[in-house]
Amino acid sequence: MKIVVLGTRGIPAIPGGIETHCEQLYPRLVAKYACEVTVITRTPYVKEKKNYYKGVKLFNLWSPKHKNFETIIHSIIGVGMARLLAPDILHIHAIGPALVTPLARLLGMEVVITHHGPDYDRQKWGFFAKTMLRLGEKLGCRFAKRIIVISETIKILVKQRHERSDAVLIHNGVNTPQPLSTTDYLESMGLEQRNYIIAVGRFVEEKGLHDLIDAYAGLQDKSIPLVIVGDANYETIYSHDLKQAALRNGVVMTGYLKGEKLTQIFSLARLFVTPSYHEGLSITLLEALSYGLNVLVSNIPANREIGLDEDNYFVVGDVVGLRVALQKKMGHEQLPDYSKLLEKYNWDRISLQTWNLYQEVAGHPT
């Protein structure tokens, strides 16, 4: 079976939830099942010219690096390229790229879309972009042969708004972490084991990092440093102001991390915090749980769906409530056990679920 993937910036090691999803899923499909996978990537993000990643073919296609037009331009060109590759299935990730679903069907391709979340709820988008994202969701849900959703919340949305009761729930996943071997990066940042708070995310409004910095700034005791891992894909007034606020309040900023450095930061943190206003299903939260960290997360539907204990949640946007919760959580040293909770977020299970759906779409039901 031949599968072409559209909608991701690229793999491997490109920041983003969809990028992580594709990096984990498609090498497993190639290794385990009788399929050939080509991921169409974007030139501004893929610097190294590689033809393969762990058996997955990579086709690096030009796109502009532009906040509002990058996705749609790349998706239109990508559909044309996908048609030339003649796949059995075109798998489109996210509702922005799903705008081209009718075109793909018109060109004779069987289309699966994965709805990673209602991106039009993100604060960073203006009226035009929100309108296009809503249209992408509508067209994707209407014309795709099958729809995958990554959370029960999105499944309900698809059924209520678009009358698609056949959407298949296939979660994001998380790997079991590799044992930590060194702490040199922590030491270079002046951090002590189990004595810092981490947050991970892009510097955009919906990640709520400004709330976290404000809450941290109001703490009387700042002996436990706050570390923010991430950066902005595009420099904006918001990302500039966020960095300035972090500097004023002694927040440690690492930029984007990967590999051993990211492993060290996750492995030995005291507390993980995600103050997001919007998520589909947060892979960074799943990663924090896989490391067995104490967590504190906003009470948005996608986070609540994971099923943590109530003392792990705070009201989204409530800076004072977040500050109180931070103060309380900073005193917790015993690490929880999330092993049962994480069973449904296993990548091997997810790859099998995806393969079974592909078989159905291609006319080879399991």
C-alpha 194/C-alpha 270 separation (Å) is: 4
Do residue 138 and residue 156 come from a single domain? yes
Do residue 63 and residue 193 come from a single domain? no
C-alpha 174/C-alpha 287 separation (Å) is: 6
Q: What is the dihedral angle through the alpha carbons of 285, 290, 291, 297, rounded to the nearest 10 degrees?
A: 20
User: Does the residue 178 lie in any domain?
Assistant: no
User: Does the residue 67 lie in any domain?
Assistant: yes
Q: What angle do CA 347, 349, 354 make, to 5 degrees?
A: 90
Do residue 163 and residue 213 come from a single domain? no
168-169 β-sheet, strand order: 52-53, 56-61, 36-42, 2-6, 89-93, 111-115, 146-149, 168-169
SS in 3 state form for 27-80? HHHHHHCCCEEEEEEECCCCCCCCCEECCEEEEEECCCCCCCCHHHHHHHHHHH
Q: Look at the alpha carbons of 166, 348, 175, 45 in this order and tell me if their dihedral is positive or negative.
A: negative
Do residue 199 and residue 276 come from a single domain? yes
User: Does the residue 35 lie in any domain?
Assistant: yes
Helices (H), 117-151: 127-143
The per-residue pLDDT for 365 is: 57
User: Does the residue 90 lie in any domain?
Assistant: yes
pLDDT tens series, the chain, 366 aa? 999 999 999 999 898 889 999 999 999 999 999 899 999 999 999 877 789 999 999 999 999 988 778 999 999 999 999 999 999 999 999 999 999 999 999 999 999 999 999 888 877 778 888 999 999 999 999 999 999 999 999 999 999 999 999 999 999 999 988 867 789 999 999 999 999 999 999 999 999 999 999 999 999 888 999 999 999 988 899 999 999 999 999 999 999 998 889 999 999 999 999 999 999 889 999 999 999 999 999 999 999 999 999 999 999 999 999 999 999 998 877 778 898 899 889 999 999 999 999 999 998 755
User: Does the residue 337 lie in any domain?
Assistant: yes
**What Cα–Cα distance (Å) separates residue 61 from each residue in 14, 81, 112, 365?**
15, 9, 21, 33
User: Does the residue 331 lie in any domain?
Assistant: yes
**What Cα–Cα distance (Å) separates residue 277 from each residue in 155, 207, 253?**
19, 6, 21
User: Does the residue 125 lie in any domain?
Assistant: yes
Do residue 261 and residue 292 come from a single domain? yes
Do residue 140 and residue 188 come from a single domain? no
Give the structural domain span for 42.
Answer: 2-173+346-361
Do residue 288 and residue 255 come from a single domain? yes
Strand ranges (E), the chain = 2-6, 36-42, 52-53, 56-61, 89-93, 111-115, 146-149, 168-169, 197-200, 226-229, 252-255, 271-274, 294-298, 313-314
CB proximity list for 12: less than 8 A, separation 6 or greater: 23, 53, 54
Do residue 136 and residue 188 come from a single domain? no
Number of domains in the chain: 2
The CATH number assigned to the domain holding 302 equals 3.40.50.2000
Do residue 128 and residue 198 come from a single domain? no
User: Does the residue 283 lie in any domain?
Assistant: yes
Do residue 10 and residue 111 come from a single domain? yes
CA Rg, the chain, in Å?
Answer: 20
Do residue 279 and residue 165 come from a single domain? no
Is the separation of the CB atoms in 151 and 238 below 8 Å?
A: no
CB proximity list for 247: less than 8 A, separation 6 or greater: 253
Tokens of 218: 């109001």
